[in-house]
Amino acid sequence: MSSLQSFLHMGGYAIYVWPAYVLTFIVLILNVILPLKREGQFFRALVERKKRLEKAQ
Amino acid sequence: MFEYFYKYGSPRHFYDLSKMFVPWLGGICLILLIAGLTGGLFFAPPDYQQGESFRIIYVHVPSAWMSLFIYVVMASAGAISLVWKVKVADALARASAPLGASFTFLALATGSLWGKPMWGTWWVWDARLTSELILLFLYLGYMALQTAIDDRRTAARAGAILSLVGVVNIPIIHYSVEWWHTLHQGPTITKLDAPSIHPSMLVPLLIMAFAFMFYYAAVVLLRARYEILENERNSAWVYELTEQRKG
């Protein structure tokens, strides 16, 4: 067995070790992406509102 | 001193500070994560009893520590916002809740993935597991309360009181493994005598814990900044920010 294979195999515990790591990183990444996306939406909405107000004048 | 406090506690300054600090905190977090993962997955030897499965420790234990730490930060920020009505403290408390809930969920889920091969079960009503589950409900309750109350000041007060009452759960979680001898193992690292873990295993764990700490610092600032923008959406300085962004 190559060293990469044996690393991925995790001594037979691969089905427990890797999901734990993958899950952790999914949750950590989502917690960064979602607020950034919300902030972007917030500013876009503000710019839209400003444009509408300028048009109305 | 109070002048200083109010200046840097003002929403506007907080926004600028957040913009400045988040990239640095995030960068340090990434470096620590790479170091901790390399150490934990490649260099640490397999455990003599648990084999390779023990490597779950490098995400499980830091998540569990963070779940408690963030709760204490959230309750303290809540207390500050309750007493001094500091808006930034309220924003930090609100921003902490989803992060704390995430880490509590991760501690439970990775613990479950570790429990299955080692204990033979995904879940057991052990004192540590049960009190950690209650912590998750405290976080979720806090978040539900924040969405349910429209008035910001009322929501801040209600949230602060809820989180302060919930603090009683923190020592219960910490000492649960000593007070009740159920399935979860006792402390390995936070003991008064020397930790019963070899440095080659301990060092990556501590690095991962610091990585999670920096992660929390970066993301809580990011989230709190958004809470502040929402609150101050009608103020002049937020309006000015849109000018900058368009240009």
CA-based nearest residue in chain B for residue A24: B106
What is the predicted pLDDT for the residue at B200? 83
The answer to whether residue B194 is domain-embedded is no
- List the one residue out of B109, B54, B40, B120 whose CA is nearest residue A11: B54
What is the predicted pLDDT for the residue at B230? 87
The answer to whether residue B28 is domain-embedded is yes
The answer to whether residue B6 is domain-embedded is no
Q: Model confidence over B70-120: pLDDT tens digits?
A: 999 999 999 999 998 888 999 999 999 999 999 999 999 999 999 888 888
The values of phi and psi at residue B168, to 5°, are -55, -25
The answer to whether residue B7 is domain-embedded is no
DSSP string over chain B = -HHHHHHHHSHHHHHHHHHHHHHHHHHHHHHHHHHHHHIIIIISPPBTTTBGGGGGHHHHHHHHHHHHHHHHHHHHHHHHHHHH--HHHHHHHHHHHHHHHHHHHHHHHHHHHHHHHHHS-S----HHHHHHHHHHHHHHHHHHHHHH--SHHHHHHHHHHHHHHHTTHHHHHHHHHHHS-SSS---SSSSSS--SS-HHHHHHHHHHHHHHHHHHHHHHHHHHHHHHHHHTTTSHHHHHHHHHHH-
Question: Looking at the 3D structure of chain B, how many domains does it have?
Answer: 1
The answer to whether residue B169 is domain-embedded is yes
Query: Structural domain of residue B229, as residue ranges?
Result: 20-44+54-186+202-246
Give the minimum alpha-carbon distance from A55 to chain B in angstroms, rounded to a whole number.
17
Q: What is the mean pLDDT of chain B?
A: 88
What is the predicted pLDDT for the residue at B73? 97
Whether residues A42 and B230 touch (CB distance < 8 A) is answered with yes
The answer to whether residue B87 is domain-embedded is yes
Nearest to B53 among A17, A32, A42 (CB): A17
Q: Model confidence over B157-194: pLDDT tens digits?
A: 999 999 999 999 999 998 888 888 777 877 776 655 56
Nearest to B60 among A20, A31, A38 (CB): A20
Torsion of CA B230, B231, B237, B238, to 10 degrees: 10
Contact B9, B15 (CB under 8 A): no
B54 versus B3: the higher-pLDDT residue is B54
Determine contact: A46 vs chain B, CB below 8 A: yes
- List the one residue out of B159, B146, B135 whose CA is nearest residue B71: B135
* Percent of chain B clearing pLDDT 70 (strictly above): 91
Q: Which two tokens stand for residue B148?
A: 């349910």
Burial of B159 (C-beta count, 10 Å sphere; 0-12/13-18/19+): buried
B177 versus B59: the higher-pLDDT residue is B59
The answer to whether residue B195 is domain-embedded is no
Q: Model confidence over A8-19: pLDDT tens digits?
A: 888 888 889 999
Region of B10 please: left (phi>0), alpha (psi -120 to 50) or beta.
beta
Which residues of B fall within a CB distance of 8 Å from A17?
A: 52-53, 55-56, 113
Q: Which of residues 2-41 of A touch B (CB under 8 A)?
A: 7, 10-13, 16-17, 19-21, 23-24, 27-28, 31-32, 35-36, 38-39
Nearest to B52 among A11, A21, A39 (CB): A11
Q: Model confidence over B124-134: pLDDT tens digits?
A: 888 899 999 99
Indicate whether B1 pLDDT > 60: no
Highest mean pLDDT among A21-30, A44-53, B4-13: A21-30
CA distance B3 to B71: 28
Indicate whether B3 pLDDT > 70: no
Give residue B4's pLDDT band: very low, low, confident or very high (50, 70, 90): low
Give residue B247's pLDDT band: very low, low, confident or very high (50, 70, 90): very low
Which residues of A fall within a CB distance of 8 Å from B108?
A: none
CA distance B99 to B106: 10
Q: How remote is the C-alpha of B149 from its chain's centroid? A: 24
The answer to whether residue B197 is domain-embedded is no
Q: Please report where in the chains the tokens 């923190």 appear, as a residue.
A: B170
